[in-house]
Structure 1
Amino acid sequence: MSKLDKPVVIGIAGGSGSGKTTIAHKIAGQMHANDHILIMTQDSYYKDNTGVPMSKRMKINYDHPDAFDVPLLKKQLDQLLHYQAIEMPTYDFKAHTRSSKTIHTEPADIIILEGILVLFNESIRNLMDIKVYVDTDDDIRFIRRLERDMNERGRSLDSVIKQYLSTVKPMYHQFIEPTKRYADIIVPEGGENDVAIDMLTTKMHSILNRNEK
């Protein structure tokens, strides 16, 4: 049985390749062994494009707020906040659409939601106890994205560069970076900032202790 009335939610936003996932896992690694932690990625909630022709799927702007299925994310977060299990969607980045597979996900006392635009939508933002923005240099983020998309998502060098210049960079400055103003904590240097990660972990422990029954 949970020791909390409701789970604690921490949102981690920032540009692609900023170090959001690294921070999420470092926070999880520093929590107590008996704390039940769930790390969710906003990437799982891209819209289902099954009925869209492949030629159009490949042109989808994945860095625009409209690319995400916000109602589904909100619904499943609400379920988790009521300690109900969910069937989390998965996304196939090679097929450019949602996979038919889901992941059965049990609720947890600590939910870490990370993604480029997790602070953009007010209804999602209002569910968070701590809001974090990871602020990392553009060049570093581009190199990390280049390596990830080529190694993990089967993209070519040219396609990654073209996508970065046409959508990723402009969308970052138009939609992602402005969400920095909603953050409780801004973390420079991404996952390498051990001081900020220690501060976040300390704050998480404080909230957990305050919310214990």
Structure 2
Amino acid sequence: MSKKPYVIGIAGSSGSGKTFFLKCFLNHFKAHEVTLISQDDYYIPVVTKTREENRLYNFDLPTTINSALFYDDIKALITGKTVFKEEYTFHNPNIKPKLLELKPAPILLVEGLFIFHFKEINALLDERIFMHAEEEIALKRRLKRDLLERGYNEEDVKYKWFNHVLPSFKEYLLPYKSLCDHIIENNTDDTQRMIKITDEISDSLRSKLQL
């Protein structure tokens, strides 16, 4: 690429609807127009031998992320290089990790809980999007996801929510809410509303970047 990509940071609380937002957003662009790099693929590997150890281990801290490698890969994409990275499978032994090939594109989406907290990464962003949902609604969504998709039990999900997820959100993400360019309050499961929001943001980007 001859031109630096436009870098957009997307962060939000667990249960805020980031996954659906990203799906809607990506549908507005062709594969060569946008690349997504996710903080989730940069967890530092840990060995948890028992269910209790896994329950108590706090994944919702900046120190669990290899932020240096995350930063290096973002920089590589910005300078036009392709990045190869093994996906993170949330310690699920039944899933074989895929080798991700991230190619540079005119729009680079950087997604993750700590992307505003990591100062070097935050400095790379041209635009910031903050996804938010009320605590009660976000917890219900988290329970639905973790019970159905990841096989956790309700006690473990609630333990992590109140002891890890919520405190981390309040300390490492919420303070940056007012500094973001777009604040999306997502307290309903109104898919048409989310599609409309991504329509507006993507149309603005196309005009700005002349895609």
Report TM bin, short chain: 0.7 to 0.9
CA 1:100–1:94: 2 relative to 1, 3 Å? closer
| Paired position in structure 2 for 1:205 | 206
C-alpha distance after superposition, 1:64-103 (max 9, x if no partner): 222211101001011111111111232231359xx86532
| Paired position in structure 1 for 2:99 | 102
What are the within-5 Å matches in structure 2 for residues 139-158 of structure 1?
139-158=136-155
SS in 1 for 2:137: helix
CA contact (8 A) 2:147 2:154 kept: yes
CA contact (8 A) 2:37 2:74 kept: no
CA contact (8 A) 1:94 1:153 kept: no
| Paired position in structure 1 for 2:45 | 48
| Paired position in structure 2 for 1:27 | 25
How far apart are 1:123 and its partner, in Å? 0.8
SS in 2 for 1:112: strand
Identity across matched positions, percent: 26
Among 6, 9, 17, which residue is 2:7 paired with? 9
User: Partner letter of residue 107 of structure 1?
Assistant: P
CA 1:100–1:24: 2 relative to 1, 3 Å? closer
How far apart are 1:186 and its partner, in Å? 0.8
SS in 2 for 1:91: coil
User: Partner letter of residue 12 of structure 1?
Assistant: I
How far apart are 1:12 and its partner, in Å? 0.7
CA 1:11–1:181: 2 relative to 1, 3 Å? same
User: Partner letter of residue 196 of structure 1?
Assistant: I
| Paired position in structure 1 for 2:169 | 172
**110-119 or 124-133: bigger deviation:** 110-119
How far apart are 1:30 and its partner, in Å? 2.0
SS in 1 for 2:200: helix
Q: Distance in 2 between matches of 1:126 and 1:203?
A: 22
Q: Distance in 2 between matches of 1:27 and 1:6?
A: 20
Compute the TM-score of the two structures, normalised by the length of structure 1.
0.84
CA 1:122–1:203: 2 relative to 1, 3 Å? farther
CA contact (8 A) 1:187 1:193 kept: no
What are the within-5 Å matches in structure 2 for residues 78-89 of structure 1?
78-89=75-86
Note if 1:138 corresponds to 2:135.
Answer: yes
CA contact (8 A) 1:119 1:182 kept: no
